[in-house]
């Protein structure tokens, strides 16, 4: 048993991010809202959350319309759409948090929650995104803007949808409806 403990200790000390992945639920992570206020994921406990990394100047930016449509359609049933602005892909989110918020409201009437701009890839990724990558694997991690993660009411990561799958696509809506129906 002693060699196993030594190996475990070595791995934790040798890999600085090891302890960052210890949480078992999305509810264990916190964001900061685009207006600078705390936005703990546990505040969404009991809700289904579609987490989407967004960008204002991307070929997929019109997906904001679909995200708004999902929000309007399902929010009374318990869906939260959470936009997570990121400048990770092609420098397509260069503005400040104020710029992003103004753009989203003026162009897409976004009234669902937005986080402050964060990194969603690599070692500097927001802890939620590092956890999601660990949970679903590297093949389900964002490779571009408008990647989507679906989180169930208990904070369990249910599924990922790649950028090219629109938020209102049948498979996304079926997954949302199934998560909303589960208690």
Which percentage of the chain shows pLDDT scores above 70? 87
User: Domain 21-181 falls in which CATH fold?
Assistant: Glutaredoxin (3.40.30)
Is residue 96 within a helix (H) or strand (E), and if so which, with residue range?
none
Q: Would you say 45 and 83 are in contact if contact means Cβ atoms under 8 Å apart?
A: no
What's the mean pLDDT in 88-111? 98
**In the prediction, which pLDDT does 2 show?**
52
Is residue 161 within a helix (H) or strand (E), and if so which, with residue range?
strand 157-161
- The residues carrying an active-site annotation are 107
Non-local CB neighbours of 161 within 8 Å, separated by 6+ positions: 147, 148, 149, 150, 169, 171, 172, 175
Q: Domain-by-domain residue ranges, the chain? A: 21-181
Q: Would you say 159 and 137 are in contact if contact means Cβ atoms under 8 Å apart?
A: no
**In the prediction, which pLDDT does 183 show?**
78
Mean pLDDT of the chain: 90
**In the prediction, which pLDDT does 24 show?**
87
Q: Which residue's entry shows tokens 């449509």?
A: 69
**In the prediction, which pLDDT does 10 show?**
40
Q: Pick 143 or 16 by higher pLDDT.
A: 143
Question: CA-CA distance, 35 to 17, in Å (whole number)?
Answer: 28
Strand order in the sheet with 157-161: 79-85, 48-54, 148-151, 157-161
Is residue 5 within a helix (H) or strand (E), and if so which, with residue range?
helix 2-14
Per-residue pLDDT reduced to its tens digit, 59-89: 999 999 999 999 999 999 999 999 999 999 9
**In the prediction, which pLDDT does 5 show?**
46
Pair of tokens at residue 50: 């579609």
Q: Which of 21-25, 44-48, 54-58, 128-132 is least confident?
A: 21-25
Per-residue pLDDT reduced to its tens digit, 108-124: 999 999 999 999 999 99
Per-residue pLDDT reduced to its tens digit, 7-41: 343 433 333 333 334 458 999 999 999 999 999 99
């Amino acid at each position: 048993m002693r060699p196993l403990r030594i190996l475990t200790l070595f791995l934790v000390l040798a890999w600085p991010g090891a302890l960052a992945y210890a949480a078992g639920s999305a509810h264990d992570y916190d964001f900061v809202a685009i207006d600078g206020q705390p936005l703990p994921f546990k505040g969404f406990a009991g809700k289904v959350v579609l987490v989407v990394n967004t960008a204002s100047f991307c070929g997929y930016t019109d997906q904001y319309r679909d995200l708004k449509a999902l929000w309007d359609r399902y929010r009374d049933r318990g869906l939260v759409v959470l936009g997570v602005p990121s400048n990770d892909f092609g420098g397509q989110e260069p503005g400040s948090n104020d710029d992003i918020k103004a753009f989203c409201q003026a162009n897409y009437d976004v009234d669902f929650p937005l986080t402050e701009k964060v990194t969603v890839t690599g070692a500097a990724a927001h802890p939620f995104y590092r956890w999601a990558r660990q949970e679903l694997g590297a093949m389900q991690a964002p490779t571009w803007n408008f990647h989507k993660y679906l989180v169930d009411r208990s904070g369990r990561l249910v599924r990922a949808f790649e950028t090219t799958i629109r938020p209102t696509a049948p498979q996304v809506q079926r997954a949302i409806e199934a998560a909303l129906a589960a208690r």
